[in-house]
Amino acid sequence: MNVRIENYSITVSPQHLALLMELWTRAGFTFPHGVSDHSVIRLALEDLISRGDLGTLRSFLTRSGLNNTAEAFSTLFRMAAALPASYDAAAFTARHDPNASFEYIDGSAGAEALIVIFTGNVQRVGFPLPMVHGLFEATGCPVLYLKDKTRSVFCDGLADGAGRAGLIARIRDKMDRAGIRRSVLVGSSSGTYAALQYARALSASHVLGLAGPTRVDPADTRPRIQNLCERFTAAGLPLDATEGFGAGAPCRMRYYYGEDHPRDADYARHLVQSGAGETVAVRGHANHVVLDVISELGLFQADLAAAVAGGDFTDPSVHPELMFHPKAAP
C-alpha cells in the first residue's frame, strides 16, 4: 500500500528544533518538510549560536537553501562564513558569561591595543557575541565587552553605582595591567554613541561605529529618546556625541551603515558634516545591521587590523558595493 501525504505541519519548540537540526545535519538530511515557521527556525538557530555550534548552523542553512531564499537567514550565513576557520565558537561560549556587563578576555602577550566593544540595547554586536567574537579574537588583542543592560547608552557607566568615572578607571586598570597605552573602540547601534563619548577618556586611537546614533535629537518625541535626553542632560553630557570628539588627541573614526536606512543615513551625514569622522555606506542596504556585509567583503577585518596596528583605515573604494564619504575639512 502506498500512502501519499499532501500537507502536514510540525509544532516544536526552538530548543528541540535546534537539537533536531543537529541530528538532521549529522544524518545528511536536507531541510525537513513540515517546519515552515521562520521565526521558530531563527530562534532555533540562535540556540545553536548560543552553544557555539556554528558548524551545524552553516550546514543546515546550506542544505535547506534558506541562506539563498530568506534575508533573515542570509545574514546569519554571511556572518558565519566570514569568521576565521580557526575560530572555536564552542570554546568561547564555555567561558562566556552572558549575564556579565563587563566581560574581559585576555589576548596574546605584547598586544598593541585593547579592543573595547560597546554593545547596543540587546547586548549584541549586530549578532550574538559567540558569532562575532572570532573577528576580534583574530587580532590577538585583549577584548572587553561592555553590555548595556540598563539601556542607558552607558551615560552612567554600567549603572553599578560607580558611574562613568568608575567604568573608565576600571578599563584603564585593565590597560595598565596589560601594559597597553591605547584602545580601539567598537560601537554597535546605540553603542556607537557611547564609543564616541568615551574615546578621549580611554585614549582611543580609532573608533569603528556599526550604525546607530551620533547624536540625540531633543525634537524626537519617542519616549525612549526623551528619557535619554533627560538622563544625558542630568549627567552633564552633550546630546551631540561628536561635540569635542578627538579634541586634544587625534582619533580616527569610521562609521558603517546601510544607505537605505533613513535614520542611520541621517546620523552618518551628521558625523561627516561635523568633521568627526568618515562613513562607509552599503549601497541599497536598508537593514540597521551591516556587520555581516562588510565582514563578507573583508572590510571590517581589514579596518580592525589597521586600527590595532595604529594606521589609517583601508580604502573601501575597491568594493563597488560600498560608498565612501570622507569627513568634512575643519
Asked if residue 263 belongs to a domain, the reply is yes
Instruction: Give the residue among 117, 30, 23, 15 at the shortest CA–CA distance from 66.
Output: 30
SS (H, E, C) 68-135: HHCHHHHHHHHHHHHCCCCCCHHHHHHHCCCCCCEEEECCCCCCCCEEEEECCCCCCCCCCHHHHHHH
167 with 306, same domain? yes
Mean pLDDT, rounded, for 190-216: 96
Asked if residue 90 belongs to a domain, the reply is no
On the question of pLDDT at 240 being above 60, the answer is: yes
| pLDDT in the model for residue 56 | 86
| pLDDT in the model for residue 75 | 93
Q: What is the pLDDT of residues 4-15, one digit of tens each?
A: 545 545 566 666
On the question of pLDDT at 1 being above 50, the answer is: no
Residue 94 burial by CB count (10 A; 0-12/13-18/19+): exposed, middle or buried?
A: exposed
122 with 59, same domain? no
Residue 211, domain CATH: 3.40.50.1820
* Per-residue confidence band for 287, with pLDDT thresholds at 50, 70 and 90: very high
On the question of pLDDT at 16 being above 90, the answer is: no
* Per-residue confidence band for 252, with pLDDT thresholds at 50, 70 and 90: very high
57 with 156, same domain? no
On the question of pLDDT at 60 being above 90, the answer is: no
Mean pLDDT, rounded, for 55-71: 83
260 with 309, same domain? yes
125 with 22, same domain? no
On the question of pLDDT at 96 being above 90, the answer is: yes
192 with 45, same domain? no
Do 211 and 292 form a contact (C-beta atoms < 8 A)?
A: no
Asked if residue 303 belongs to a domain, the reply is yes
* Per-residue confidence band for 21, with pLDDT thresholds at 50, 70 and 90: confident
129 with 210, same domain? yes
Asked if residue 1 belongs to a domain, the reply is no
207/200 Cα distance (integer angstroms) = 11
On the question of pLDDT at 37 being above 80, the answer is: no
Asked if residue 9 belongs to a domain, the reply is no
193 with 240, same domain? yes
Backbone angles phi, psi at 266, to 5 degrees: -70, -45
57 with 147, same domain? no
107 with 219, same domain? yes
Asked if residue 146 belongs to a domain, the reply is yes
171 with 288, same domain? yes
On the question of pLDDT at 41 being above 90, the answer is: no
What percent of the chain has pLDDT above 70?
89
Asked if residue 91 belongs to a domain, the reply is no
Q: Which residue among 43, 58, 82 closes a domain?
A: 82
Cell of 245: 570628539
Cell of 237: 553630557
What percent of the chain has pLDDT above 90?
67
Q: What is the pLDDT of residues 265-282, one digit of tens each?
A: 999 999 999 999 999 999
Q: Which of 43-47, 195-199, 236-240 is predicted least confidently?
A: 43-47
Residue 197 burial by CB count (10 A; 0-12/13-18/19+): exposed, middle or buried?
A: buried
Q: Which of 32-41, 75-84, 107-116, 306-315 is predicted least confidently?
A: 32-41
Determine the structural domain holding residue 306 and report its residue range: 97-325
Q: Which residue among 30, 52, 82 closes a domain?
A: 82
On the question of pLDDT at 35 being above 70, the answer is: no
Q: What is the pLDDT of residues 141-197, one digit of tens each?
A: 999 999 999 889 999 999 888 899 999 999 999 999 999 999 999 999 999 999 999
C-alpha to C-alpha distances, 175 to 29, 123, 145, 181, nearest whole angstrom: 49, 23, 14, 7
On the question of pLDDT at 20 being above 80, the answer is: no
Domains identified in the chain, total number? 2
| pLDDT in the model for residue 4 | 55
Q: Which residue among 32, 59, 82 closes a domain?
A: 82
Name 281's Cβ contacts closer than 8 Å, sequence gap at least 6: 256, 257, 258, 259, 265, 268, 322, 323, 324, 325
Asked if residue 87 belongs to a domain, the reply is no
229 with 138, same domain? yes
